[in-house]
Amino acid sequence: MRSDILKKAVETLPHRALLMCAGIKKADLDSGKPFIGIANSYNNIIPGHVHLRELAEEVKRGIQDAGGIPFEWGVPGVCDGIAMFVEMRLSLPSREHIADNVEIMVLSHSMDGWVGITNCDKITPGMLMAAARLDIPAILVTGGPMKANVVQGRRRHPIEGFAMVGQVKAGKLSIEEANRELSEMACGPGSCVGLYTANTMAVVTETLGMSVAGCASTPALDLEKKRQAYESGRRVVELVRQGIRPREIMTEAAFHNAIRVDMAMGGSTNAVLHIPAIAREAGINLDVDIFDKISRQTPNLCSIIPAGPYEMADFHRAGGVPGVLNRLRGFINDSPTVNGVSILEIAAKGRVHDHEVIRPLEDPFHPEGGIAVLKGNIAASAVIKQTAVQESLRRLEGPARVFHSEAALLKAIESKKLREGEVVVLPFQGPAGAPGMPEMLTPTDALKGAGYERVALITDGRFSGATTGPCIGHVEMEAYNRGPLAAVREGDIIEIDIDQRSLNVRLSQEEISRRLQEVKPPERQLTPLLRSYRERFKGVNCYGRPA
């Protein structure tokens, strides 16, 4: 075991004394029990994480009962919903910070295996990146979704508030009326109720085989969640003893499975950022085009908030990820999992209990999967959540309205300076340009809340999983790196065709090139971390590939 150097070597005799100062018994050191780390992202800021301390205790019990020694430390987390519009630029960089945190703690303290206790947006992919990078036995426990409040037959949850911003800005709702609804929207612990980024990445984790079956959708306060935490602690000790490592589980076939399940469910566009980053740590290159290819082959079987009426608790009762795997078993590649059985074995045992929440292949909500990749003269690639776009909006063209900040766009909404049929363009929001590639839920939901029905939005930033409508993100190359989005000016005609996968501005290539020579990126206030993040993404796209 990796920890033997601490438990047995003469050179590490003082190290053992330090461990005993921390409460480890000499008998446990002499017994050769494996050291198991617990990377716990508990905090009392993020609703999806306020209950993780209790899950950590169950993980510890499982580790101890299986004959391991648990060591716990804290991992930071950003709540995207709280950071959005305030200081959102640090959220995506926190993903790398979390992966580094786990690497530092696991390697510095000779852990034989580790458990990541996580839930929300960047924490789960950061931990998966660490698992792939370190290739030391690991398992993740995702904390589970909250349940929506039901008030007079209406589901209430926090993300509704973003649309209310637009209603207030447009004068359709007073701030006093909005504030009176706050208590109805507060649901308690868990990740947000719909298939936003947190729950999307929990689904990805389970499908990759890195969490126990059913973990992704089990509600945060369900007693089953504690059982899953205990089982995860027990299983990681078995993984150490069997020598089963993450890269044996997170194979290329497993990543393709994860993309397929995500497409069938209609998950967040952020998965297109996170899955390739995790795969890259495992030595696997996934191009953005694989998402479009798999999406074209995969019918959309679920319609979960924000795309449809169902919440994650409904999805769990309907059969969860095993149920979707059962529907898709003819498309799924076999791959091992932390459960000790293969993904096809889990698929075979999966059952669907509600055929409307998880529809059959022959009766999908949409014939294609959740995400489409668009290309054209202003995008080598761009991403849209196509299953959240009305059929009448799949093809649009209109004059560009260019804004360089969310605040400027919100001001235009408030002063009613936008018209139906216009295309909002938000450049310089990418990893280098913002920097940090912030999410754009505030402006997208403000447009919706203000009542706009035919206003599209295009950005080199990214979107929350809560975004709906004709909102196109991840435009590459980004404007800061002289991508053609930087050449778009007020009044230029933008053409969007989701079915044809095209995104163009009605300009000649010569004119685009001429305008790019004149581009001056807007000045931004930068912290040292943001400055280093900008340097990292100069000349490369958001997937880390060169221009």
| Catalytically annotated residues | 464
Q: By C-alpha distance, which of 158, 75, 150, 89 is closest to 118?
A: 75
Q: Angle of helix 271-281 relative to helix 197-208, nearest 10 degrees? A: 40
Per-residue burial over 227-242, b = 16 or more CB atoms within 10 Å of its CB, e = otherwise: ebbbbbbbbbbbbbbe
Bond from prior residue into 306 cis (ω within 30 degrees of 0): yes
CB 430 within 8 A of CB 479: yes
Distance CA 144, CA 358 (A): 19
Bond from prior residue into 435 cis (ω within 30 degrees of 0): yes
Could you tell me the sign of the dihedral formed by the alpha carbons of 466, 468, 474, 478, in that order? negative
In Å, what is the CA distance from 154 to each residue of 7, 309, 420?
58, 10, 29
Q: Where are the beta strands (DSSP E) in 414-535?
A: 423-426, 456-459, 471-476, 493-497, 502-505
Q: By C-alpha distance, which of 46, 271, 303 is closest to 158?
A: 46
Say which amino acid occupies 85. F
Distance CA 331, CA 256 (A): 10
Q: By C-alpha distance, which of 344, 352, 147, 359 is closest to 265?
A: 359
CB 250 within 8 A of CB 337: no
